[in-house]
Amino acid sequence: KQEVTQIPAALSVPEGENLVLNCSFTDSAIYNLQWFRQDPGKGLTSLLLIQSSQREQTSGRLNASLDKSSGRSTLYIAASQPGDSATYLCAVRQDNQGGKLIFGQGTELSVKP
Amino acid sequence: EAEVAQSPRYKITEKSQAVAFWCDPISGHATLYWYRQILGQGPELLVQFQDESVVDDSQLPKDRFSAERLKGVDSTLKIQPAELGDSAMYLCASSFRGRNNEQFFGPGTRLTVL
């Protein structure tokens, strides 16, 4: 059974710092991996999607990498801003799951001015 | 920009009452998902539709939950009777093709059962 883990559960950094959020998964037979942002009490906003054949994806100050063989993904945020404060969730889609996403528990990020 | 719509945004109900949530996916998205997110955890799939057909409801508590997507467009999720443990965020998502494409989420319905 696929399990997705995110470490740390919470992270607090000063504004301007570069940071890395970690996601690991137990079954490497994934189809793709998606990173989401969730503001308190809100829905999920898709940030980046990496297909299993890709190594990384970039969008603005965000860069996500995927190492399928080791079961790891990282989300790199450059020059963090207070507006980046939110919970970040990673989720994997498996070949045999018909499309459902399996989520980690999230990392709650706080960027202090 | 096209978005997934959900209503209501917030619902407070008493234990044993019936509640219903509505979702309208992005136009043209054949696959629709209902997820439940308990506070402090990641979302978990309750039910997945491909057009009007259920393709995965293995985690749906069928004794009290039901879901339908009669015309293959919008969908309704119902709970009857509601229990205290049903308090959670209910998220709807849609994708163009269930297997290959990115899922887009709605704003969610926050349910509180008293």
Q: In three state form, how does the secondary structure of A58-110 look? A: EECCEEEEEECCCCEEEEEECCCCHHHCEEEEEEEEECCCCCCEEECCCEEEE
What average pLDDT does chain A have? 93
How do beta strands B109-113 and B75-79 pair? unpaired
> What burial letters (b/e) apply to A40-51, b meaning 16+ CB within 10 Å?
eebbbeebbbbe
Interface list for chain A against chain B, based on CB atoms closer than 8 Å: 4, 31, 34, 36, 41-46, 49, 89, 91, 97-101, 103-106
Closest by Cα among A51, A53, A73, A52 to A64: A73
CA A79 to chain B, closest CA, distance in angstroms equals 26
In chain B, the residue whose alpha carbon lies closest to the alpha carbon of A52 is B100
Q: What is the pLDDT of residues A27-43, one digit of tens each?
A: 998 989 999 999 998 99
Whether the pLDDT of residue A20 is over 60: the answer is yes
Q: Decide if pLDDT at A44 tops 60.
A: yes
CB spacing of B95 vs A43 below 8 angstroms: no
Q: How confident is the model at residue B72 (pLDDT cuts 50, 70, 90)?
A: confident
Residue of A nearest to B103 (CA): A46
Residue range A80-101, pLDDT digits in tens: 999 999 999 999 998 655 578 9
Q: For chain B, what percent of residues have pLDDT higher than 90?
A: 83
Band of residue A69 on the pLDDT scale cut at 50, 70, 90: very high
State phi, psi for A65 to the nearest 5 degrees.
-120, 155
